[in-house]
Amino acid sequence: MSEPNAFDLVVIGSGPAGEKGAAQAAYFGKRVAMVERGSAFGGAAANTGTLPSKTLRETSLTLSGFRNRGLYGVDLSLQRQATIRDLMRRETVISATERERIRQNLERHHVTVFRGEATFLDAHTIRVVRAGEPPIDLTTEIVLIATGSSPRRAALFPFGHPRVFDSDAILELDSIPRSLAVVGGGVIGAEYASTFAALGVEVSLIEGRDRLLPFLDGEIAAALQRGMAGMGIQFCMPRRVARCEASEDSVTLLLEGGESVTADAVLVSAGRVSNTEALNLEAAGIRCGDHGLLTVDEHFRTSASNVYAAGDVIGFPALASTSMEQARLAMVHAFDLGYKKALAPVLPYGIYTIPEVSMAGETEESLTQKKIEYVAGRATYRQNARGQIVGDPEGMLKLLFAAADLKLLGVHVIGEQATELVHVGLTAILAGATNDLFIETCYNYPTLTEMYKYATYDAMGKRDAAAALSGA
């Protein structure tokens, strides 16, 4: 294609899926354009979601002294008081650094960037609408939709009020509230509830289901709720908000059943909506599902054979890590690159609550549902030297093995560095490893990783005890 606005690939959106999809195709010599409607690269991951929220979490843990709570004779929480300026300074630096990294990556791969709103004229033509300038029409062989998602704003809540926030607007707080009501106990709601509770904010979490994060292993979800309750978070579960009354000084939420919660501010985290409203998808022959979600096949191709979609715009799991992999795989299929053939069959999940939680593979509930006999092994931070050093007595590693051959089926971690520690188990699952891997491996001491050996011994002991009992 020699025409200036003709491309092999047009990517819409510069978040994790968009960036990695563009780089993947460009790496293999394709002429790639990217359309970004925002003023900054990175989408929600760099600007309003993943990195900002995780940075705020880490900053709150440091400035509040929360991490030192379990260390004998150390109490920093009385020596420092975090302000919103303290919190936002670090978040601003991290987000700016990530945006610059993305810009450099796109430049290094010779991706042509167009600023403006993308809209389909047909399945092979994208119009870029630019404020105050004539539109530009791009022709392309392949399109990757990676427009992400935005917080769902239920009409029940007056979002124009200065005390009512969604998960994007909460970053614009000009001061730390004394009390905060969080509506929604999903990943985002639980993470922000933990962050503000670490700062000493009185937090109430309102959730319509009877448990947090139902995709987690039940034992881990219960441990997470206990840990959050230990921070002072008040749970209203299962409860739904019937009415929201916002005044100058506070917000009152009236719950179904007659209860009420009053707080200085409210964070509404009630799901997300895919950013597809401006794309004119009908012109490309694509229909949206509920909340703007795009339906894709196993190759991440939409109903239009040359249009692919990846990331939040297609829904669960809507994680930065999975979004990147989806986009890479989509581009391999689109251009028949002979590179990655399939998405990894097991994906990790990281939840940056306090305590931190991560998992990969099967849960006890899923194994029971599948009628797979299993044995669980556990090791605690309390009985681990490194766990004692970092002052996290409640942490735990839980491994799920097939009872027949002790093949690892699931790994679950709650506690400090859970999202790092889980990768050992994830890799073992993907390799089809059994208990022998952990028994034969020598781990550094003192480390949290050596819990894999002791959790494995625990599982082996339970299996042997069960065998002896059945033999008797």
Return the pLDDT at 76.
Answer: 47
Mean pLDDT along residues 421-445: 98
Return the pLDDT at 455.
Answer: 98
Return the pLDDT at 120.
Answer: 97
The beta strands (E) that lie in 237-347 are given as 241-246, 251-255, 260-263, 265-268, 272-274, 307-309
Rama region for 415: left / alpha / beta (φ>0; ψ in -120 to 50; rest): left
**Of the segments 164-178, 189-203, 398-412, which one has the largest average pLDDT value?**
398-412
Return the pLDDT at 58.
Answer: 82
Residue type (1 letter), 131: A
User: Which superfamily is assigned to 6-151+273-334 in CATH?
Assistant: FAD/NAD(P)-binding domain (3.50.50.60)
Res 95 pLDDT > 90: no
- Pairing type for strands 234-236 and 117-122 reads unpaired
Return the pLDDT at 290.
Answer: 83
Least confident of 78-92, 110-124, 236-250: 78-92
Return the pLDDT at 172.
Answer: 79
Q: Give me the percent of the chain exceeding a pLDDT of 70.
A: 93
What are the phi and psi torsion angles at 365 (to 5°)?
-65, -45
Looking at the structure, give the CATH architecture of the domain made up of residues 355-471: 2-Layer Sandwich (3.30)
Q: Which pLDDT band, with edges at 50, 70 and 90, does 333 fall under?
A: very high
Q: Which pLDDT band, with edges at 50, 70 and 90, does 78 fall under?
A: very low
Nearest CA to 113 out of 166, 180, 207, 42 is that of: 42
Res 326 pLDDT > 50: yes
Mean pLDDT along residues 192-199: 92
Q: Which pLDDT band, with edges at 50, 70 and 90, does 81 fall under?
A: low
Q: Pick the residue with more confidence: 318 or 365?
A: 365
Q: Which pLDDT band, with edges at 50, 70 and 90, does 1 fall under?
A: very low
Task: Assess contact for 411 and 423: CB atoms under 8 A.
Answer: no
- DSSP conformational letter for 80: -
Cα gap 309→295, rounded to integer Å? 8
Residue range(s) in the chain whose domain bears CATH number 3.30.390.30: 355-471
Return the pLDDT at 91.
Answer: 76
Least confident of 44-48, 56-60, 388-392: 44-48
Task: Look up the pTM and report it.
Answer: 0.88
Task: Assess contact for 180 and 202: CB atoms under 8 A.
Answer: yes
Res 80 pLDDT > 50: no
Mean pLDDT along residues 289-296: 89
Mean pLDDT along residues 45-52: 74
- Domain 164-270, CATH: 3.50.50.60
Q: What is the pLDDT of residues 97-150, one digit of tens each?
A: 899 999 999 999 999 999 999 999 999 999 999 988 999 999 999 999 999 999
Return the pLDDT at 40.
Answer: 86
Q: Pick the residue with more confidence: 42 or 183?
A: 183
Q: What is the pLDDT of residues 212-240, one digit of tens each?
A: 999 999 999 999 999 999 999 999 999 99
- Joined together, the tokens standing for residue 253 give 């939420």
Mean pLDDT of the chain: 91
Q: Pick the residue with more confidence: 346 or 73?
A: 346
Res 79 pLDDT > 50: no
Q: Pick the residue with more confidence: 436 or 287?
A: 436
Task: Assess contact for 233 and 141: CB atoms under 8 A.
Answer: no
Q: Which pLDDT band, with edges at 50, 70 and 90, does 69 fall under?
A: low
Return the pLDDT at 471.
Answer: 67
Q: Give me the percent of the chain exceeding a pLDDT of 90.
A: 74
Cα gap 460→457, rounded to integer Å? 5
